[in-house]
């Protein structure tokens, strides 16, 4: 197991568990800081040895040695940040404020080390004369070289010191931003005591609100800002002033605490980019993306906006007209949209989410998503009750190749909201796939992948019944999980989801396409009480309504992407105020007049705490790829083995071992057709 693992206490006490599953039961919060400090020490000792060498720098004694120096540190910090998102408390949040600066300092020590960089550079410079530097070895060398070069290795000593202090400060701000959003989300509740206030709400939402009240020791019903609570309320609650209250609270999250953080974060990112010789933070980020430059992203978004905005305006006009027709009242506010849009969908397509819920029992949908993986990629998920988990609600599965039982990896699923979990849904890894020199004596290990969601909880009267959107979210995150699980690379840095961020959403978004196909729904959409398969007419309604309000929702994504790009391309010294800047940045992609006392930016965790800065456009970029890729499946058959095999071989298993466009062309035989997305949304 490597000589240093005994210093990491519970993190590597894994021998009782097959495939070294993380032994969560043994890990206490107090273990993290000492384990991370020890991980940094061990890594620094290894890095010092690399520099002491007298042999000519080579891939093995330099690039690979740097790659594997941090194995234990990566493992421990990975577990820490995963639990910070899924099982946080005050102690963990306090710890994040100590741990993040330590990791940032270590990172600066590594990337600003001139002697290490010289060794990496000499391996990179000799690449064309080195027969050993082919394929993954060459790709890893390039990645390590660029990581140094793009993070200050070429700077003078005084500029390195400046960069170090910028990184220190930045490392503290993201956890603080995140913490403020979580606190704002958890601190609000709308407590209702009159049955009349629940008018219009479906039974499922009322039951969940009664459970939430009971958990808090209250009578009546409690609604919160967590998606399974707020989404049905905005879509169905007849009392307009209550919808307004909930909508407003959601859109004002962290407006009292985060504006100064937003301004400081964009200032520091801008200073950092300029110090490194880039025009803006977006120029720095996009150099390592398929899109390459902010100009290309801007023209991509503008091209979409020209097609999408007129469609979105038509969508909104239809909803407004329906409200006026029913009520005679012309006034229309953002908190009216979900409610009246749902009513219009009912009128046009005779469909609302509540009709579908009984067919989407969580356990059936999970079985369905596993069946898709079996049919497409010939893998099976077997539930295990003997593996340790970090929370009793987490389920674990072993993933094996069908027929041969070859071990593929472990899969963890954590489905329901709780106060200790941030909102949203995401995929993560407790261990990446790839070579571990120290932890596993030079073996290539299989991955441990998790998805974390916030779905409708079961109540005392019924199981967890999902909305169609939640089903799509489950398929989406499962697509990311497949990208992690089916990885077949040699080096961790190139494996799984370690790809360009505007490519990483392709495996996730393509999975959503199956959700609206009859052949797919027949596999899992069964009534939770009768077991009957979803009737054809309901499936037809889903299919017909799949383009309902497509323009509106596409514009919403473009609005977020344009806001993100603006924050990271405009000189932050010219920005006085978060709210007014946000309004001017999104004026061209907004459908409603701004509402006083609200802001998107102050709770925009994707870009201020999550790694999507200057990258939110990726969702739309990858939608072009996934629409084009799914057309191939539709053409050949939803579960066609040849297409699925090509997708697995060239996309899911290859990680970042080749440039993404190269991988895509190997799968599809050509570049993606940019109009595929507009075709799917019915916009051309």
Beta strands in 565-645 (DSSP E): none
Tokens of 145: 């070289």
Give the Cα separation of 508 and 517 in Å (integer): 17
Question: Who contacts 370 (Cβ-Cβ below 8 Å, separation ≥6)?
Answer: 380, 381
Q: Which residues pair with 449 in a beta bridge?
A: 411, 429
Ordered DSSP codes for 495-547:
STT-S-TTTTTHHHHHHHGGGG-HHHHHHH-B-TTT-PBPPHHHHHHHHHHTT
State how far the alpha carbon of 292 is from the alpha carbons of 2, 149, 233, 650, in Å. Answer: 41, 17, 41, 22
| Burial (Cβ within 10 Å: 0-12, 13-18, ≥19) of residue 183 | middle
Q: Do the beta carbons of residue 271 and residue 281 sit within 8 Å?
A: no
Rounded to a whole number of angstroms, the CA Rg of the chain reads 25
Tokens of 655: 């990680």
Give the Cα separation of 586 and 578 in Å (integer): 12
Phi then psi dihedrals of residue 239, to 5 deg: -75, 105
Please pick, among 67, 342, 398, 477, the residue that the annotation labels catalytic: 477
Give the Cα separation of 357 and 54 in Å (integer): 66
Q: Do the beta carbons of residue 308 and residue 551 sit within 8 Å?
A: yes
Of the candidates 513, 563, 500, 574, which has an alpha carbon nearest to the alpha carbon of residue 542?
Answer: 513
Q: Do the beta carbons of residue 589 and residue 309 sit within 8 Å?
A: yes
Tokens of 111: 């990337």
Question: Who contacts 262 (Cβ-Cβ below 8 Å, separation ≥6)?
Answer: 177, 567, 578, 601, 602, 608
Across the beta sheet with 379-384, the strand order is 379-384, 395-401, 407-414, 448-452, 426-431
Q: Do the beta carbons of residue 382 and residue 367 sit within 8 Å?
A: no
Torsion of CA 162, 75, 395, 610, to 10 degrees: 10
Beta strands in 415-517 (DSSP E): 426-431, 434-436, 443-445, 448-452
Ordered DSSP codes for 239-299:
-HHHHHHHHHHHHTTTTTTSHHHHHHHHHHHHHHHHHTT-SSHHHHHHTTSSS-SHHHHHH
Is 55 catalytic? The answer is no
Tokens 């690379």: give the residue: 489
Alpha carbon 129 to chain centroid, angstroms: 40
Tokens 């390195």: give the residue: 160
Tokens 């959107």: give the residue: 469
- Angle (CA) 605-423-22 rounded to 5° is 100
Tokens of 446: 């299989």
- 409 SS3 class: strand
Which residues are tagged catalytic? 477
């Amino acid at each position: 197991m490597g000589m240093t693992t005994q210093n990491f206490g519970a993190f590597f006490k894994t021998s009782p568990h097959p495939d070294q599953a993380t032994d969560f039961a043994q890990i206490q919060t107090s273990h993290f800081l000492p384990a991370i400090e020890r991980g940094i020490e061990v890594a620094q000792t290894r890095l010092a040895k690399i520099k002491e060498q007298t042999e000519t720098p080579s891939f093995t004694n330099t690039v690979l040695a740097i790659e594997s120096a941090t194995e234990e540190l990566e493992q421990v910090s990975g577990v820490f940040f995963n639990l910070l998102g899924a099982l946080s408390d005050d102690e963990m949040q306090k710890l994040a404020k100590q741990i993040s600066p330590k990791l940032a300092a270590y990172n600066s020590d590594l990337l600003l080390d001139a002697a290490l960089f010289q060794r990496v550079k000499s391996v990179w410079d000799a690449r064309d004369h080195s027969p050993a530097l082919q394929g993954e070895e060459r790709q890893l060398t390039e990645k390590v070289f660029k990581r140094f070069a793009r993070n200050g290795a070429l700077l003078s000593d005084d500029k390195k010191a400046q960069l170090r202090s910028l990184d220190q400060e930045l490392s503290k701000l993201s956890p603080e931003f995140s913490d403020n959003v979580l606190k704002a989300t958890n601190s609000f509740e709308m407590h209702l005591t009159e049955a009349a206030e629940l008018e219009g709400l479906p039974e499922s939402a009322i039951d969940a609100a009664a459970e939430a009240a009971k958990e808090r020791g209250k009578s009546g019903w409690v609604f919160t800002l967590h998606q399974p609570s707020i989404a049905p309320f905005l879509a169905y609650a007849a009392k307009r002033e209550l919808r307004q209250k909930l909508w407003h609270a959601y859109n004002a999250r962290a407006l009292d605490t985060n504006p100064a953080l937003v301004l400081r974060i964009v200032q520091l990112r801008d200073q950092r980019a300029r110090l490194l010789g880039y025009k803006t933070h977006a120029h720095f980020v996009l150099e390592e993306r398929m899109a390459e430059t902010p100009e290309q992203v801007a023209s991509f978004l503008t091209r979409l906006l020209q097609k999408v905005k007129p469609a979105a305006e038509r969508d909104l006009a239809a909803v407004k007209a329906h409200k006026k027709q029913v009520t005679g009242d012309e006034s229309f506010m953002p908190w009216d949209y979900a409610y009246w849009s749902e009513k219009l969908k009912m009128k046009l397509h005779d469909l609302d989410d509540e009709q579908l819920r009984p067919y989407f029992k969580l356990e059936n949908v999970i079985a369905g998503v596993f069946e898709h993986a079996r049919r497409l990629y010939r893998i099976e998920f077997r539930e295990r009750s003997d593996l340790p988990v970090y929370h009793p609600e987490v389920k674990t599965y072993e993933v094996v190749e069908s027929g041969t039982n070859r071990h593929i990896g472990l899969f963890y699923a954590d489905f329901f909201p709780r106060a200790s979990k941030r909102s949203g849904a995401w995929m993560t890894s407790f261990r990446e796939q790839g070579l571990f020199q120290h932890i596993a004596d030079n073996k290539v290990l299989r991955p441990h992948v998790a998805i974390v969601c916030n779905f409708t909880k079961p109540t005392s009267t019924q199981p967890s019944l999902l909305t169609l959107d939640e089903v799509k979210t489950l398929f989406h995150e499962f697509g990311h999980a497949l990208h992690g699980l089916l990885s077949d690379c040699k080096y961790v840095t190139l494996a799984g989801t370690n790809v360009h961020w505007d490519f990483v959403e392709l495996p996730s978004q393509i999975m959503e396409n199956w959700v609206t196909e009859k052949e797919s729904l027949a596999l899992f959409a069964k009534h939770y009480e009768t077991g009957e398969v979803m009737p054809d007419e309901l499936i037809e309604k889903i299919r017909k309504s799949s383009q309902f309000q497509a323009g509106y929702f596409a514009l919403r994504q473009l609005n977020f992407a344009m806001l993100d790009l603006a924050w990271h391309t405009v000189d932050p010294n010219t920005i006085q105020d978060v709210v007014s800047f946000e309004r001017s940045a999104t004026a061209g992609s907004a459908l409603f007049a701004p509402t006083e006392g609200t802001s998107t930016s102050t709770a925009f965790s994707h870009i201020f705490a999550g790694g999507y800065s200057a990258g939110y456009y990726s969702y739309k970029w990858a939608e072009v790829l996934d629409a084009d890729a799914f057309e191939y499946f539709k053409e050949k058959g939803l579960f066609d083995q040849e297409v699925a095999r090509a997708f697995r071989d060239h996309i899911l298993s290859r990680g970042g071992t080749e440039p993404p466009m190269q991988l895509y062309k190997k799968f599809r035989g050509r570049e993606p057709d940019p109009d595929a997305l507009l075709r799917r949304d019915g916009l051309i």
